[in-house]
A and B are shown apart, each in its own frame.
Chain A
Amino acid sequence: MADLELRRLCLRFGGLSVLEDVSFAVNAGELFALIGPNGAGKTSVLNCVSGLYHGEGAILFRDVEIGGYRPHAVARLGIARTFQHGELFAQMSVLDNLLTGRHARIRTNALAEMFGLPGVRREEARHREAVERIIEFVELERYRHAPVAGLAFGTQKIVGFARALALEPTLIMLDEPSAGLNRDEREDLARFILRIKHELGITMIWIEHDMQMVSDLADRIHVLDYGRTLAEGPAAAVLRDERVIAAYLGRAHARPAAGAAGGGAPGGR
């Protein structure tokens, strides 16, 4: 069964067409990579699913149309996401960031909270326990009480990743999780992504520029260019596709220049 299905999704800002007839279906438990050059509309796809943008066409989550949902309602269905630039709550501790990510799962109301009723205290402790399991999963134990603003960028990205996990999602959308990470951190990230796939079985849509990682990890790849679908399929086939190479990957003979200009992103293989 498809977990998430996009049917002929179109998005326009005034005269600018951002997405045109984008359709794909992500299967349950699949690691689905979304790639394409800058400005191809990858993040816009995530924003449409999140309910931050409302396009035309249908977005189905487990056969329920969610195209008109408001963002918080989408999140409450169990669709979590990370952001390209982290977008953490800098003044909060790692723990509070994760608990905020868990907002939709916590069942207390403001009045009971103000009076600190026993039910609230139990609920807080229960969710703290759940959050601790996630902290352990992504190995952030040393930083749990640290304010996020003081952490290294790589660690912050992992916190953003953990915050999405804190929702206990069934679908998680990762927006360039590896951007700005060094080699070690990328290896950690790859390990976490694989553990999520195999141990938690969460469906993932993954925007990525590191083609090495994508071809190693992704089950299927969907390529966007100027808001249109260019190709879709298993990694090996898609990355050999002539159109994908022309639009995004570039050719091996232009290697030195392309490698430098791309900032280490796609490069030749």
Chain B
Amino acid sequence: MSRQPRASGYFRTSYQADRALVATRLERAMLVLFVVLLLAFPLFASAFLLDLACQVFLASIGALSLMLLTGYAGQISLGHAGLLAAGAYSVGILFREVNAPFWITLPVAALVGALLGLMFGLPSLRLRGLYLAVSTLALHFVVVHAGAEYETRRGYSTGVIIDPPQIAGLAISDPRAWYVILLAAAAGTLLLCLNLLRSRTGRAFGAINTHETVAAALGIDVARGKLLAFVVSSSLTSLAGALFAYYRGFVSVEAFSLFLTIQYAAMIIIGGLGSLLGALLGAFFVTIFPYLIEWALAALPGAQRRASEFFAVNYAAFGAVMILFLVFEPAGLVGIWRRVQSYFLLWPFRHRPLTGARK
């Protein structure tokens, strides 16, 4: 993890301090302000906005874990929707079959994700790039097929209904409670990822991503590193799927189409590969984008008659945005953010610092 550009005149006196995530007073103040704003949001937000925020948090967890795997360790996976489904079905099946509480279902979901990650990470030891992507696609179809099979066998043809989780006899169904839970889950995931990336394992991911042979010659067990990336990423993804199942109170295969995988891939690309901030920005952007388009279309004259076409327009707009980002801003939203940041940092000068523009 290399750090953000900082103004001069800031000194550290210990290696622990140099490693801190939040170092200066200003950074700490900004973080506190941001958290306060996030916590105050549900007091004013409508039910619709609250749901949107919860969706963003869920997407953030999924995007962060995919970023870990693809953006940092350099392993491409198209099994993301499958892993989300695995987490959701772990909850659904355990709840339906043995009425398991959340403190059993969530760890099991993480474990199932880890095992699937290990299994479908194995091809990464031999395959690279597109070939690896296709082999991980198998994960998607296996899990989704198994889920559909469970639904039909047990007669839940429209999907599995899950009761809200209970803490001390109280069912969590209040949207505000969910907002806080999912916010905490997303923040926790972010912290786990940040910690991992600034340690031994995170550096090994980067080394494997850049140059496998060199990484091996430096003493990094490349096979182990790749599998670890798959396991960590998959168990976090599966947890996101489990939370999604509880939040929606409903699991159905339709929710886990291949399009979902593409959306997550879009999040990390639009956000900016190789940046956790990028994953968050991408999750935010991709989640609210369809609502923005719909809202914009609804404002057009004669919108009522054309409401049936919104769906198609939305898909097309999504594709167009994806292409525009790939062509004009490969560094993603985070690239734009960094430019704005260094503009203000350098103001009134305009030259880029020689060692700056850091990732």
Contacts and interface: CB of A to CB of B under 8 A. Distances in A.
A153 to B, nearest CB: 15
B355 A147 contact: yes
A108 B200 contact: yes
Given A52-B213, A121-B19, A72 B222 contact: yes
B217 A100 contact: no
Interface string A84-107: 000101111100100111011010
A113 B195 contact: yes
Given A72-B219, A100-B206, A110-B201, 15 more contacts: A71-B217, A72-B218, A72-B220, A76-B219, A80-B218, A83-B214, A89-B206, A101-B218, A103-B207, A110-B196, A113-B195, A114-B232, A120-B199, A145-B2, A147-B358
B203 A92 contact: yes
Contact of A89 (B3, B198, B210, B221): B210
Contacts of A228: none
A150 interface: yes
Given A99-B203, A110-B196, A75 B218 contact: yes
Contact of B203 (A96, A109, A150): A96
B8 interface: no
B192 interface: yes
Given A52-B213, A96-B206, A124 B199 contact: yes
B277 to A, nearest CB: 15
A81 B354 CA distance: 29
A167 B219 contact: yes
Interface stretch (B10-18, B29-37, B88-96, B159-167): B10-18
Nearest to A78: B219
Contact of B15 (A75, A83, A108, A128): A128
Interface of A: 50-52, 70-72, 74-76, 80-81, 83, 87, 89-93, 96, 99-101, 103-104, 106, 108-110, 113-116, 120-121, 124-125, 128-129, 132, 143, 145-147, 150, 163, 167
Contacts of A124: 15, 19, 198-199
Interface in B316-359: 354-355, 358-359
Contacts, number: 124
Nearest to A166: B218
Report whether over half of chain A's contact residues are helix, strand or loop; otherwise say mixed.
Answer: helix
B214 A87 contact: yes
Nearest to A95: B2
A146 B356 CA distance: 8
A103 B199 contact: no
Contact of B14 (A87, A106, A125): A125
Nearest to A120: B199
Contacts of A115: 192, 195
A89 B220 contact: no
Given A72-B216, A128-B15, A163-B218, A110 B232 contact: yes
B154 interface: no
B211 interface: yes
B223 to A, nearest CB: 9
A138 B204 CA distance: 23
A76 B217 CA distance: 9
Contact of A106 (B200, B214, B354, B355): B200
Contacts of B221: 70, 72
Nearest to B274: A91
B132 interface: no
Q: Which of A75, A100, A113, A146 has the most CB of B within 10 A?
A: A100
